[in-house]
Structure 1
């Protein structure tokens, strides 16, 4: 290597590595980006759960089309809010507008919030199409959201290096905090 010039080490197979498959790319994202994407998904899941629970509590005054629109708009709103927050934070810290690659990264991160609504929206669309009732659709959507939060919390705790009993305590704390968030969101939406 002369004066810091890069040396071509050949193809991945020539270097003794395997060619990466599409499924491997996900794990090659920087840890910070994966953490931010997961955070956005958790925010959107809490938001979607709050919307669904409020609608479930008012199901007698609601139709499936309004319930579907409310969920879609709420999740889209939290997605846009996350993206705008990232842009503002970047501009504040770096004193510059994000470049194309940075904007793309921010859009990918914000877009993960949309994925949180897929199954609940499908359930509400089925209610809209009179395949299932609105009340069972909202109940099922709330179960999907709660299960999503439980799975995320479980795997987050399992990845720690805590002892098993400390993991149980950590998971119990996460469940209690999640319950508090749900209660606070319910209070905010009901008043």
Structure 2
């Protein structure tokens, strides 16, 4: 998103949406492969049908992170918003979704509340650090 934002004046909302979709799907495929390989490493066997279905379901459910950014880019495509503004909002939405996913992942974990908050804060800080590094790389 940030790399696209540095070229927002030359980028259409459709191009940005396509790039976002490719990046997210590519990332999710990498996550699926990591999940698959870690299953083999931990259990010393291939996942059975139910386990494989579960892995695919969990990975596919992460496509939900595309909803808000795609809405923002659609608004930019309809000239209700600038591409730059949509990309900025999309970046913020992606960081917020990272924290939300982290929250749902740890809400039932038996950790003290303070440690749960530290995990969520660490996720947010890491997300902001990635943004900072992207800004340095594309600035």
Q: Which of structures 1 and 2 has the larger relative contact order (alpha carbons within 8 angstroms, sep 6+)?
A: 2
Specify the alignment match of 2:95 in structure 1: 146
RMSD of equivalent CA atoms: 3.0
CA separation in 1, counterparts of 2:57 and 2:136? 31
Specify the alignment match of 1:118 in structure 2: 67
Residue 133 of structure 1 deviates from its aligned partner by 2.3
- Helix, strand or coil for the counterpart of 2:47? coil
Residues 1:132 and 2:84 aligned together: no
CA separation in 2, counterparts of 1:88 and 1:146? 27
Is contact 2:95-2:124 (8 Å) kept?
A: no
Gaps of 5+ in 2: none
- Helix, strand or coil for the counterpart of 1:130? coil
Is contact 1:75-1:113 (8 Å) kept?
A: no
Specify the alignment match of 1:88 in structure 2: 37
Residue 122 of structure 1 deviates from its aligned partner by 1.8
Specify the alignment match of 1:161 in structure 2: 112
Distance 1:130 1:162, change over 3 A: closer
Distance 1:152 1:94, change over 3 A: closer
Specify the alignment match of 2:17 in structure 1: 68
Is contact 1:55-1:138 (8 Å) kept?
A: yes
Q: Normalized against structure 1, the TM-score is what?
A: 0.57
Distance 1:134 1:117, change over 3 A: same
Gaps of 5+ in 1: 1-51
Distance 1:175 1:72, change over 3 A: closer
Between structure 1 and structure 2, the one with the greater Rg is 1
Residues 1:107 and 2:64 aligned together: no
